[in-house]
């Protein structure tokens, strides 16, 4: 099915059924079972989807009812989504790493009637909160049976109930599909939010259909493509780009066993397309840089030459003998790590460092970075293979408008803009003005070629005591390319200079210490070692100088933190964005130590230079 055929589809459920008709015996899902990937065809998945949908109907689920999915990324998540949508019901995704209280809030606020739980750990959360969720009638357990609660059904039991219901209700699914309009609510996605209570973003069938259709055109997706999916399907980025989009074109989707096993699964599946967040690319980049630190001089020289050849090839568009030799000696080894036939990486969810993007580009691998929000389904802009500029998030996609407000905020309008926030008209009015422009909260600008450059979140801007406005995110994105830094948060609001809280990569620091005869008895002793601090400080200054960071924007001083930012501590959102207010509160004493009177005095006057 091509993109023009897709335009005739009026619901996300129809998207699947159209592809089932066109690609019936073709592989749809690939999942690891008993140490080997096994395939589920479009026809086989269709049988399960229909039975699950009819099973939900037997539980009383009907059009516009809410059904939650509390599972990691796996084929059962995707199948449950299409089953829910087949009834005209509304899918409410929940991140499986959320604690019980947040799960309770989402189920309560969304009025969910049924929840799919992946395993006993997730079911335990439902059992804990069930009495506080009056709308919730049933839980469906995906992986194992549980007879302790009468409201719990197994995945297979629900399918059996669906078969019985279908026998007495012929053509039930077909009749449901006829009643679904493109304007109907398809999903409520609760924003993870770096501040405040999560808000339920209401997206229609049309929101996601139009965004998926445009993405197909941008990436030139076809039925021969194989996706590897590992990002949370609870996030709109993977839901659209790794779920609806590939299914619309008859692609196969393979599910990674876990984030840790992505490298192994890539070599097994050999995908052609993969969506990922910048942190994956940063880790690959850092791993290569780490290897170079101890590599023989000749290998370093060959690698540097290959990068130079790759840059020249990108700049000129010519790939002669030198490029072919560089590919054989260097590039091919990186390509082999990804299975050998990957043609497109897609990056979203956070800014990608220009240095990392350049590294992959010079190695002959294109990362298409885009930009959007949950509230915009999500894509607003994206780089294309034929319209590509490193350091930007691409051009505005077809059918969408975007402009920059006088204060630098990015505004957008079009069919991708959400219906609003569920049960929150006041927040909706704050986000979408009377002319239909959605205020993204991000600061940026269009360059002379109409490529969008993101500066930072409006609320994240740091204003120094000297009156300078500084965007912390680009600096943070730059610093995490240093192999010894795992996480970083830049600070300096109302201060004389910029500092940073640094979560170290302890494995790399230990290795450095051992290689340089630095003795230590504990990690605490290691990060308090003056030589270790000075080494990382030197790298921070050199990295900033190389990137051309202005003097007043530079991190002058930093502190190693004793522990990583985590979701459990409340310092990260489920999508791994840092919560600045929480981190500031948790490490207030360390922050104050960076800005003692002596330090302030030494740096006086620097903030205005």
* φ, ψ for residue 525, nearest 5 deg: -65, -35
Q: Three-state SS for 204?
A: strand
The reported pLDDT for the residue numbered 28 is 98
The reported pLDDT for the residue numbered 147 is 66
Model confidence at 597, pLDDT cuts 50, 70, 90, reads: low
Can you give the residue ranges of every domain in the chain? 3-208, 275-340+343-458, 461-608
According to CATH, the topology of domain 3-208 is Rossmann fold (3.40.50)
According to CATH, the topology of domain 275-340+343-458 is Rossmann fold (3.40.50)
Class of the CATH-defined domain 461-608: alpha beta
| Topology match between the domains 275-340+343-458 and 461-608 | no
pLDDT digits 0-9 by tens, 72-93: 999 999 999 999 999 999 999 9
**Which two structure tokens, joined as six digits, stand for 147?**
């007879």
The reported pLDDT for the residue numbered 41 is 98
| Backbone CA torsion sign across 15, 16, 20, 21 | negative
The reported pLDDT for the residue numbered 275 is 93
pLDDT digits 0-9 by tens, 246-291: 999 999 999 999 888 998 999 999 999 999 988 888 888 888 888 8
**Which two structure tokens, joined as six digits, stand for 23?**
């690609």
The mean pLDDT value for 422-442 works out to: 96
Q: What is the DSSP string of 217-266?
A: HHHT--TT-EEEE-S-TTSHHHHIIIIIHHHHTT-EEEEPS-STTHHHHH
Task: Look at residues 150, 120, 146 and name the one whose alpha carbon lies nearest to residue 138.
Answer: 150
The reported pLDDT for the residue numbered 280 is 86
Choose the weakest-confidence range: 6-15, 72-81, 524-533. Answer: 6-15
Instruction: Examine residue 378 and say whether the peptide bond preceding it is cis (omega within 30 degrees of 0).
Output: yes
The mean pLDDT value for 583-597 works out to: 90
pLDDT digits 0-9 by tens, 488-512: 999 999 899 999 999 999 999 999 9
Model confidence at 609, pLDDT cuts 50, 70, 90, reads: very low
On average, the pLDDT of the chain sits at 92
pLDDT digits 0-9 by tens, 110-135: 999 999 999 999 999 999 999 999 99
Task: Please say whether the beta carbons of 455 and 445 come within 8 A.
Answer: yes
Query: 3-state SS of 566-587?
Result: CCCCCCECCCCCECHHHHHHHC
Q: What is the DSSP string of 486-532?
A: EEEEEE-TTSSSEEEEEEE-HHHHHHHHHHTT---SSHHHHHT-HHH
- Could you tell me the end-to-end alpha-carbon distance of the chain, in angstroms, rounded to an integer? 58
* Residue pointed to by tokens 């929101």: 207
CA separation (Å) from 321 to 171, 269, 312, 314, 326?
A: 62, 31, 13, 15, 9
Q: Which percentage of the chain shows pLDDT scores above 70?
A: 96
The reported pLDDT for the residue numbered 603 is 47
The reported pLDDT for the residue numbered 226 is 98
How far apart are alpha carbons 335 and 23 in whole angstroms? 30
The reported pLDDT for the residue numbered 607 is 42
- Give the pairing type, strands 138-141 and 112-117: parallel
Q: What is the pTM of this model?
A: 0.86
Of residues 199 and 294, more confidence is placed in 199
pLDDT digits 0-9 by tens, 158-168: 999 999 999 99
pLDDT at 148 over 80: no
């Amino acid at each position: 099915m091509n993109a023009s055929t897709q335009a005739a589809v009026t619901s996300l459920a129809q998207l699947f059924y159209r592809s089932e008709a066109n690609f019936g015996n073709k592989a749809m899902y690939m999942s690891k079972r008993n140490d080997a990937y096994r395939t589920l065809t479009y026809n086989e998945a269709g049988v399960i989807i229909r039975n699950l949908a009819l099973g939900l109907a037997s539980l009383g689920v009907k059009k516009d009812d809410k059904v939650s999915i509390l599972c990691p990324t796996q084929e059962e998540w995707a199948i449950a989504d299409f089953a829910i949508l087949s009834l005209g019901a509304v899918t409410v995704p929940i991140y499986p790493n959320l604690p019980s209280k947040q799960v309770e809030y989402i189920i309560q606020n969304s009025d969910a009637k049924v929840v799919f739980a992946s395993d006993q750990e997730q079911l335990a959360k439902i059992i804990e909160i069930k009495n506080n969720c009056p709308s919730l009638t049933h839980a469906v357990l995906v992986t194992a049976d549980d007879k302790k609660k009468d409201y719990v059904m197994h995945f297979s039991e629900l399918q059996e109930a669906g078969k019985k219901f279908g026998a007495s209700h012929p053509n039930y699914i077909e009749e449901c599909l006829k009643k679904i309009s493109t304007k109907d609510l398809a999903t409520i996605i609760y924003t993870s939010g770096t501040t405040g209570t999560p808000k339920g973003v209401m997206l229609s069938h049309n929101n996601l259909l139009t965004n998926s259709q445009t993405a197909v055109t941008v990436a030139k997706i076809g039925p021969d493509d194989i996706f590897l999916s590992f990002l949370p399907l609870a996030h709109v980025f993977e839901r659209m780009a790794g779920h609806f989009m590939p299914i619309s074109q008859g692609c196969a989707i393979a599910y990674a066993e876990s984030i840790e096993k992505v490298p192994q699964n890539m070599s097994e599946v050999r995908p052609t397309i993969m969506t990922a967040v910048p942190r994956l690319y940063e880790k690959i980049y850092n791993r290569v840089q780490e290897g170079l630190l101890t590599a023989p001089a000749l290998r370093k020289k060959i690698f540097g030459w290959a990068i130079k050849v790759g840059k020249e090839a990108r700049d000129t568009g010519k790939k002669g003998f030198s490029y072919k030799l560089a590919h054989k000696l260097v590039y091919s080894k990186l390509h082999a790590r990804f299975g050998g036939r990957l043609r497109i990486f897609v990056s979203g969810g956070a800014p990608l460092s220009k240095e990392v993007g350049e590294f992959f580009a010079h190695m002959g691998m294109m990362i298409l970075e885009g930009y959007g929000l949950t509230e915009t389904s999500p894509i607003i802009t994206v780089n294309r293979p034929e319209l590509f500029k490193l350091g930007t998030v691409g051009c505005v996609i077809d059918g969408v408008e975007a402009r920059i407000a006088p204060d630098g905020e990015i505004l957008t309008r079009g069919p991708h803009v959400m219906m609003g926030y569920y049960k929150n008209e006041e927040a909706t009015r704050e986000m979408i003005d009377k002319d239909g422009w959605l205020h993204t909260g991000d600061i940026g600008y269009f360059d002379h070629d109409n490529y969008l450059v993101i500066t930072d979140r409006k609320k994240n801007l740091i204003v120094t005591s000297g009156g300078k406005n500084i965007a912390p995110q680009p600096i943070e994105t730059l610093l995490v390319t240093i192999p010894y830094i795992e996480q970083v948060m830049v600070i300096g609001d109302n201060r004389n200079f910029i500092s940073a809280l640094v979560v170290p990569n302890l494995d790399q620091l230990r290795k450095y210490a051992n290689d340089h005869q630095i003795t230590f008895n504990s990690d605490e002793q290691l990060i308090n070692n003056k030589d270790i601090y000075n080494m990382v400080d030197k790298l921070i200054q050199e990295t900033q100088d190389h990137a051309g960071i202005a003097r007043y924007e530079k991190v002058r001083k930093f502190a190693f933190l004793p522990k990583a930012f985590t979701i459990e501590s409340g310092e990260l959102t489920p999508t791994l964005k840092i919560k600045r207010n929480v981190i500031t509160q948790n490490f207030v004493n360390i922050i104050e130590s960076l800005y003692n009177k002596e330090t302030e005095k030494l740096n006086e006057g620097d903030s205005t230079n």
